[in-house]
Structure 1
Amino acid sequence: MKYDVIVIGSGIAGATFAKACRQYGKKVAVVEKEKLGGTAIATGCLPVKIHKDNVVGFLKARDLADSYHRTLDIDIQDVYERGYNRIAELQDFMKRDLDGIDLYFGDGVLLDQNTLKVGSHNLTTDHFIIATGTSPVIPNNARRAISHRELMGLKKLPKDLIIVGGGVEAVEIADIYAAYGVQVRMVVREEEILQETDQDLKQYLMKSLEQNQVEFYYGDDIVHTIEEQDSIHITTAKGHKIRGEYLLYTSIRSLNKVDGLMDLGVICDEHKIHIDGNLRTSVDNIYVIGDANGILGMAHVAYSQGIAVAKHLYAGKEVEMAYATLPRSIFGLKEISGIGKSEKDLKGQDYKVCKINLRDLYRGYGKDLDGFAKILHHDGKLLGYWVVSDYSSDLMADSALWFDQGCTLEKISKSLFINPSLSEVLPELYLKSIKGDE
């Protein structure tokens, strides 16, 4: 079967690229060896957010019942299964999303730079797009040592969970599962979680983790593991003995390689496939998008690369990515979202900070919204913009455009914002900057 382009991998990068090519009227095939959607959609990013939204909805319902002195008679396992079932439905969602695109399941082997063998099928194409991503590494062969993949596949909520790591993945899962009522214990090699994140941005997250009785073992690591039928027991370097139903490893990943790729002369190492500025490999009809190319390792980067390479191939556009103004979010119960520099990034430099509590906005007051926003600026130029609150990630899209266009406080003062809305946080921060309020 001959295609205009074949995509190897159906994660956020591959799926987005395939849909873009469909819009250009191209004949597209997607090859997937496991679940449609990859880490971002099927087993990691989106499933974690589904559980986050699920448990936040439950907590709000419980708080509302409490305010009327009522009891919310809902079993937490039923709440958890609602999230689990939503995740299980993602495969049908993906099939609808990729309608009109031929799907092949199985391991693909590159026979030459134009031919891929998948099972009994020999598929030929003008271009290959490698979107295989990366996989979690579990440095422990115990059956109850797991990654996010296995965690998202658990139909029954565990009673207790040991998490190794203190990065974004670890703290998101810790905050969400602790809110479900799971006893979470975190073994963190560093002396704090999210060590690159400003302290004021972490305060709501730390409060949530502590209120839900998350235990921290800082500056520590696992030296010994014993597995039993229904639990796993670890001993740390500092002598702590900790029990959990599962031991979750986070943040360690390795490249998902394609059989036959290196035989064609494509340069790879353990972590990435080497590419040029247009995300093309040393073989001119093979491109790499998403985590497999080693650029930043974020789902929204992979998504944008999928669109950019489709434009490059079928609209003649050079690949241009605004990595310097990358928006990012940490999806705890209270999201930490931002763009540009943080105060830790600017340490030792000249800048000013303006902050506002979201309850001081008209819309924030109406929603009784907890959290705050801050801008970092110098001589009228915005250096960083950060928001901590419910669904603060939704405020970042417009902000990315501001930063891409070299946003200044003066430009903010000339723009119109819907009233009442949370987007008014930017002009309100501008007003505070006039007097230099912090």
Structure 2
Amino acid sequence: MYDLAIIGGGPAGYVAAERAGAKGLKVILIEKKELGGVCLNEGCMPTKTLLYSAKTYDNAVAGSKYGVNAKEVSFDFSKMMQRKQKVVKKLVSGVGSKMKMFNVTVLKDTATIKGRSQKGVEIETSKETINSKNILISTGSEAFIPPIPGLGTPNETILTNREILELTEKPESLVIIGGGVIGIEFASFFSSLGTKVTVIEMMDEILGGMDIEQSGMLRQHFVKKGVEFHMSSKVTKVDGNTVSFEQEGKQQNISADKILVSVGRKPVVKGFGLENIGVELHRGGIKVDEMMRTNIPNVYAAGDVTGFSLLAHTASREGEVVVNNLTGRKDQMRYNAIPGVVYTNPEIAGVGLTEEAAKAKGVNYKVSKLPMAYAGRFIAENEGGSGMCKVLVGAKYGEVLGVHMIGNPSSEMIYGACMAIEAELTLKELEEIVFPHPTVSEIFKETIFNFGH
């Protein structure tokens, strides 16, 4: 009898397993593929590895701006892909080592929830029947393929995030259906390598949910790099390597070597017996409360399978909430300070309320924004580059409501804003915090100081 059985070895599952094992629970983790889930194997880590290769190439090409003359700068696409695989393999191995360190039993197999019993929950695999007092469902998500004529199953031309990571040759041209995080990150990678990239997006701006002003700045940056955007456009048909779409009432066609479908992801809720115990669904995902409990006692869910915040770091925190409540520490999931990051070049990151969200909720706020150039370190390391830091605070008390940044390295700075929001820090309190100099992170304090001047 296990204390906790976990189905799915992604960020929610393996973090929960590690935390539970460290607290002395008897844990089994069942994963049918590789540990790490989509994030480590087919998403976050392989894409960030490739994006860093592209950023390194961008920096080499621009070397003369910094007094570095690199002759005949080139790249090797196959070596980029090989390095990506090496990084993924190393990270998967690292997760496996942590499972051993905390005495987690790992079973590489499919799992089916058979039902509840007096002992807990019964799970069947091809190898054995498992009984556990508690179960955590963290089966993740998969790429959503919209019902557009001609799309169907991915093939040599039509790709999702999974297939595009397995390319052996750089495409000369690429059409990306969807201007969300996945689509824009691949647009950044391939445009840096010289691929002709076209993005087709239904909304008026890319990166829905991010600060609109900064999303527009990023889009304009890529326009200058040669990326073509078709906003407010609806794809109507795909025929071979040709995408047909409607924009302002006119039909247009674009052909490319490859077509990437990146219009979102959907929770994986079928194929492992949810119906056998009557777990309730909501908007396509598993319905949970703030403690990640489902409607069935001792059955929890965390990560993308809930369909709420499809981010790896959200999933990890949700897994921690489950384990804390199982081991006597009252904990609940909060979503007010979940950071969003787009690892393009330049990066864009945000946390908390955007101006658009604040207005929609009727929140009375004040805003301050400054160019990244107000931080000396940014000028030193980003010749000719531009960026912005925007801070929203409550109009009455001056508490931090949202922080949004565009410019490198936004991804490494946004955590400070997360802490400020979680701690409900005010302008006065932030002004008293000492930032290291010279760092790009000083832009946060400069933007705070700008409220009163």
TM surpasses 0.5: yes
Per-residue CA deviations over 1:215-268 (Å, capped at 9, x if unaligned) read 2223333333332xxxx2222233322222222111333321252222112223
Amino acid at match of 1:115: E
Distance 1:98 1:184, change over 3 A: farther
Q: Map of 1:22-421 to 2, 5 A cutoff?
A: 22-64=21-63, 67-78=67-78, 80-89=80-89, 90-99=91-100, 100-113=103-116, 114-139=121-146, 140-141=151-152, 143=155, 144-227=157-240, 232-237=241-246, 238-257=250-269, 258-268=271-281, 271-314=284-327, 316-347=328-359, 350-368=364-382, 370=385, 371-377=387-393, 378-379=395-396, 380-421=398-439
- Runs of 4+ in structure 1 over 6 Å off: none
Distance 1:266 1:69, change over 3 A: closer
Distance 1:174 1:97, change over 3 A: farther
Amino acid at match of 1:178: S
Per-residue CA deviations over 1:134-158 (Å, capped at 9, x if unaligned) read 1112242252322111112223322
Root mean square deviation of aligned Cα:
2.3
* Distance of 2:294 and 2:164 partners within structure 1: 34
Distance 1:326 1:255, change over 3 A: closer
- For structure 1, the 5+ residue unaligned runs are none
Amino acid at match of 1:190: M
Deviation at 1:345, TM superposition (A): 2.4
Matched-pair contact (CA < 8 Å) for 2:211–2:350: no
Deviation at 1:368, TM superposition (A): 4.1
TM-score normalized by structure 1? 0.90
Distance 1:245 1:286, change over 3 A: same
* Distance of 1:55 and 1:263 partners within structure 2: 47
* Distance of 1:428 and 1:104 partners within structure 2: 51
Deviation at 1:76, TM superposition (A): 4.0
Deviation at 1:77, TM superposition (A): 1.7
Distance 1:346 1:49, change over 3 A: same
How many residues align structurally? 429
Matched-pair contact (CA < 8 Å) for 2:400–2:420: no
Deviation at 1:16, TM superposition (A): 0.7
* Distance of 1:7 and 1:400 partners within structure 2: 29
Matched-pair contact (CA < 8 Å) for 2:266–2:307: no
* Distance of 1:33 and 1:6 partners within structure 2: 14
Matched-pair contact (CA < 8 Å) for 2:349–2:405: yes
Per-residue CA deviations over 1:347-403 (Å, capped at 9, x if unaligned) read 476543322333322433443474221212324332322221112121122221211
Amino acid at match of 2:294: T
Percentage identity across paired residues of the two chains:
24
Structure 1 stretch 3-12 or stretch 259-268: which is displaced more?
259-268
- For structure 2, the 5+ residue unaligned runs are none
- SS of 1:278's partner is coil
Distance 1:112 1:391, change over 3 A: same
Deviation at 1:210, TM superposition (A): 1.2
* Distance of 2:237 and 2:389 partners within structure 1: 43
Matched-pair contact (CA < 8 Å) for 2:205–2:212: no
Distance 1:121 1:64, change over 3 A: same
